[in-house]
Chains A and B, each alone.
Chain A
Amino acid sequence: MQRFRDWSIRHKLTGLFLAMALCTALMVAVPMGLFDFFGLKHAIERDQAVLADALARNSTAALAFRDFKSAQDTLQALRAESSVTAACIYDKEGKPFARYLRDGNASEFVPPLAEESLTRFEGKRLVQFRHILLDGEAVGTIYIESDLKRLDARLQEYTIAFLATFLATLALAVLIASRLQRPIAQPLNDLVSTAIAISEAQNYSIRAQRQSHDEFGLLVDSFNGMLDQIEHNHEQLEEQVAARTAELVLANAQLRRAEEKYRAIFEDAVIGIFQATPEGAPVSINRAMAQLHGYDSPEQLMAEVSNVVTDLFVHPNRMNELRSELEEKGFVRDVELELYSKDRTTKWVLANIRAVRDAHGTIALLEGTIEDITDRKRAEEQVQFLAFYDALTGLPNRTLLRDRLANAMAAARRRGEKVALLFLDLDRFKVINDSLGHSSGDLLLQEVATRLKNSAREHDTVARQGGDEFVIVMAGIRDVPDAAVAAERIMDSMCSEFMIQGHSLTVSCSIGISVYPDHGADIETLVKHADAAMYSAKESGRNAFRFFSEHMTEQAVERLTIEHNLRSALDKNELFLVYQPQAELATGGMIGVEALLRWKHPELGLVPPDRFIRVAENTGLILPIGEWVLKTACTTARGWQDEGLTPMPVAVNVSAVQFRQEGFRALVRRILDETGLPPQYLELELTESVLLLNADLTFPVLQELKAMGVRLAIDDFGTGYSSLSYLRQFPVHRLKIDRSFVKAVAVNSDDAAITSAIISMGKNLNLKVIAEGVEDQAQMDFLKAHRCDEIQGYYFGPPVSSEEIAQKLRSLPQTGSSLGHATGR
């Protein structure tokens, strides 16, 4: 049902009129009806009471004298009263005496028991009992019962009358309402129609028509006034809208250009740009980000990656830290993240992320940039690695070693165990490195490192200390012999040949061992003692291991003392040369000298060469010393010649380090020039190993030296790797048999065989052969029997000063034979 509020004014007014009319009609009719109804009811009651009284009075005598017929006659008078349906007269005892029934036989009427005087309505009946009094004395009772047809009829009549009145009122109300509502509703409707017409046509020039001078008139005037204002405003507005539209078109074009520009910046940016939900779902990303992750396009990445954090982060938990920082600060700057690419390789990126918050302050979006820093990160990792690892072998370096050692010591202290520190040095590595080249040396070191790692226990640390020195930390050993077993195993692992760039190499090593806490309680001491033990092993003849002992400390101290003093030995003129004469075996004539280095320290006294030459080689002091030796020897030899003595060739030992030195040839040339010694009087002695280990490098140097006119000899021949083909190629003048063979030629058949073989080989190659270290007649006899060319040794003459050699030479007859011999070559 439509609500009254929404009815039209016309209907509302009509409705109101009707309602008022109906209310009025009801308010009049209902009380009237009720009054009438109750009045009639009362009247009926009263009428019947009167009737009952009359009957009672009339029946007193009949009752008193029990005159049934009279009583019956009295009741029959009720025939005149159509509303009375039944009646009964009771005697004094309450017994029915006479009866009356309107419809039917009276004898059929069973009257109710007599009651006290009363009047009551029973449904559609009015029932009355009254006492029949005679002179104030009850002689009986009368009962009358009547229907209320009269009342019903009256009610019916009244209802009809009311309805008629009601309808008439209604009609009248409608009539009046239709007349009265018109002057109120019509102006309003007109106004509404006008308003609708205006709003539909959007035409604000339409005006409403005023019809009266009442409030509606005023309303129409105000309405028209408002329309004037609206029309005016509308015109202004339209002008403004036109102006704004033009501005907007312009602004839109600018915006589009700006949008295109920024889109281009976003899409073509070199660094990755992204927007993602706080959970990590990508919202938008640019091409650079997609490509960074190995995807062809942003669309492909968006399709395959539903969550950047769970799918791409190598460590998704990192995001929790980032989230809390974003929550707190709103951004994170320069965060380094490791992310997966499409092919599951990892990339390092530098990320800058900003949290975009919504109106409630909760994080709605994350946006930021990422930059590929994988290369930088790898380089950093490399630097990091190098800080603790050796670049060549990948083994821990000295720094990490100390750390590991410290840990191992701490653990051992707690558990009551021991730690062994093994210092390992490759024997003659320098020679290999110098002769085969650094690349071969590096490969050898790598191979050694691999073997060491394989032979070490899992929790041992194998480190490279530098150069050819390796260190092994063995943690958790129970007793010292455990370390010896390990050392044996390591040395065994070195036994098999190394194949380096086609060369088959045999490498031995020396190992020094110190044990914590037996040999030292701190790292410095342990390292020092292991180092000393290693030196000791080396000096004992290489390819051996030694445990540290206090004695070694003394040796180490001595070694350090030598090293320390050697540095100033040259400047303090503590070094000097002695010359040992060399003789032709056949004639016994002196045919040359070998310059030998000597060191006399004011406190240490005369230091044997074997004690300081190695130190010089290890420290690099061999270069200035070697130069000094060369120069001094040449000067001396030249001095003899200048004195007019028989020119004597001087043999100078050249160390491997010296020979490998850059500009060695130039040095030789310069010294020969400076001293003025003819080149043929200078003989350079090189060890067999120096010549053989890197023939490609050695050969040109030897060729040039030969071209200069310098003579070349192979020192310590027989100890190295004899290679006849090389010997044939090398421009060598003389072979020098090692003193170790010479020493035992008379007693040891092996040494004798080697010596004789060397002599015959030299002859075959057309080389002079000189035996050194000849000390007695037996050796002389052997050498003579095997036709060795020349000898050197105490048997012929010990090393002496240059002056003594000069005296020797002066005592010789001045012949040019020696010179001629020398120059003939």
Chain B
Amino acid sequence: MSCQRPSRASRATTTIALLLWVLASLPGFCQAASEEQVKAAYLYSFAKFIEWPSRSFQGPSSPFHFCVVNNRSFQAELERTVKGKSVAGRTIEVASVLDTEQSRSCHLLFVDASQERQSRHILQALHGATILIVGETRNFIEGGGTIGFLMEDEHVYFEINQKEATLAGLYVSSRLLSVAKRVIQ
């Protein structure tokens, strides 16, 4: 017989595996994803809901640059998240930048909480540049940032400064706006 009926033991194994899969899909398990992972995924999603003007790219096939200010571990996390993905048909390159000069070529620049001291400087320096700047410090968007993360009840939210985005020449999808915790017009 070419077709072998599964044994009683292998069927039991399959059943247990299914149960584990169902448990894994429950919300408690979802929360097992780390904050960094969520933020990396969000960053990637932001790029989807926002349009960059074509002048911000050197050519039609120029890559999309994700930049992380001086945080190698997050850079690694972000690289894992976007690996093999694209934004508006462009390949993604993740880079860790140290200074504003380096940031000029970025399309999205994430400033983590450790760079709180530098963030004001970065925002000022890049004010008006066609760069989506995402931060996680309190009142980041009031300080000139485009999108700011905030944690509430262990849940990651974000707020958008549409004014700043418009100023930078970025178009923010209303759908993104609709899910933002707060939008500064």
Give A residues with C-beta under 8 Å from B: 57-58, 60-62, 64-65, 67, 70, 93, 95, 134-137
Contact = CB atoms under 8 A, between A and B. Distances in A.
A58 B88 contact: no
Contact of B179 (A67, A134, A136): A67
A60 B25 contact: no
Contacts of A93: 25
Contacts of A60: 48-49, 175
A95 B179 CA distance: 20
Given A61-B49, A65-B158, A135 B87 contact: yes
A65 B45 contact: yes
B178 A61 contact: yes
Contacts of B72: none
Contacts of B88: 135
A64 B45 contact: yes
B110 to A, nearest CB: 16
Contact of A65 (B42, B85, B86, B87): B42
A70 B178 contact: yes
Given A135-B87, A135-B88, A137-B85, A65 B48 contact: no
A70 B179 contact: yes
Contacts of B15: none
A135 B178 CA distance: 18
A136 B88 CA distance: 8
Contacts of A70: 178-179
B62 interface: no
Contacts of B176: 61, 65
A61 B42 CA distance: 10
**10 closest A-B pairs (Cβ-Cβ)?**
A61-B175, A64-B45, A67-B179, A61-B179, A135-B48, A65-B179, A70-B179, A95-B25, A134-B48, A61-B176
Contacts of A57: 175
Interface residues of B, number: 16
B17 to A, nearest CB: 16
Interface string B147-185: 000000000001000000000000001011011000000
Given A93-B25, A135-B88, A137-B85, A64 B48 contact: yes
Q: Considering residues A57, A60, A61, A134, which has the most beta carbons from chain B within 10 angstroms of its beta carbon?
A: A61
Q: Which one of B158, B173, B175 has the greatest number of beta carbons of chain A within 10 Å?
A: B175
Nearest to A95: B25
A93 B26 CA distance: 12
Interface in B39-72: 42, 45, 48-49
A106 to B, nearest CB: 17
Contacts of A58: 175
Given A61-B179, A65-B42, A136-B89, 8 more contacts: A60-B49, A61-B175, A64-B42, A64-B48, A64-B49, A65-B176, A70-B179, A95-B25
A62 B175 CA distance: 8
A70 B179 CA distance: 6
Interface string B82-94: 0001111100000
Nearest to B173: A61
B45 to A, nearest CB: 4
25 contacts: A57-B175, A58-B175, A60-B48, A60-B175, A61-B45, A61-B173, A61-B175, A61-B176, A61-B178, A62-B178, A64-B48, A64-B49, A64-B179, A65-B42, A65-B45, A65-B176, A67-B179, A70-B178, A93-B25, A134-B45, A134-B48, A135-B86, A135-B87, A136-B89, A137-B85
Interface in B98-139: none
Contacts of A67: 179
A92 to B, nearest CB: 10
Contacts of B85: 137
Contacts of B89: 136
Contacts of B45: 61, 64-65, 134
A95 B42 CA distance: 19
A557 B174 CA distance: 183
A791 to B, nearest CB: 165
Contacts of B25: 93, 95
Nearest to B175: A61
A137 to B, nearest CB: 7
A263 B176 CA distance: 135
Nearest to A134: B48
Contacts of B178: 61-62, 70
Contacts of A64: 42, 45, 48-49, 179
A61 B178 CA distance: 8
A134 B44 CA distance: 11
A660 to B, nearest CB: 143
Nearest to B38: A66
A324 B49 CA distance: 125
A672 B45 CA distance: 204
A67 B45 CA distance: 13
A85 B85 CA distance: 36
A304 to B, nearest CB: 95
B22 to A, nearest CB: 10
A265 B80 CA distance: 143
A127 B18 CA distance: 26
B83 to A, nearest CB: 13
Given A93-B25, A135-B87, A62 B179 contact: yes
Nearest to A70: B179
A70 B176 CA distance: 11
A70 B181 CA distance: 11
B165 to A, nearest CB: 15
Nearest to A62: B179
A357 B103 CA distance: 137
A490 to B, nearest CB: 122
A70 B87 CA distance: 24
B84 to A, nearest CB: 11
A57 B178 CA distance: 12
Nearest to A94: B25
Contacts of B179: 61-62, 64-65, 67, 70
A61 B176 CA distance: 6
A58 B176 CA distance: 10
A70 B173 CA distance: 15
Q: Which of B48, B88, B173 has the most CB of A within 10 A?
A: B48
A567 B176 CA distance: 189
A134 B88 CA distance: 10
Nearest to B45: A64
Give the residue among B45, B85, B87, B89 with the most A Cβ atoms within 10 A.
B45
Contacts of A95: 25
A678 B178 CA distance: 211
A154 B40 CA distance: 52
A65 B149 CA distance: 12
A300 to B, nearest CB: 100
Nearest to A58: B175
B20 to A, nearest CB: 14
A67 B88 CA distance: 23
Nearest to A60: B175
Nearest to B44: A64
Contacts of B158: 65
Contacts of A136: 89
A135 B85 CA distance: 11
B29 to A, nearest CB: 11
Nearest to B25: A95
A707 to B, nearest CB: 161
A64 B45 CA distance: 6
B178 to A, nearest CB: 6
B151 to A, nearest CB: 14
A222 to B, nearest CB: 87
A64 B89 CA distance: 18
A366 to B, nearest CB: 91
Contacts of B49: 60-61, 64, 134
A656 B158 CA distance: 196
A132 to B, nearest CB: 11
B37 to A, nearest CB: 12
A54 B86 CA distance: 24
A468 B133 CA distance: 186
A95 B178 CA distance: 22
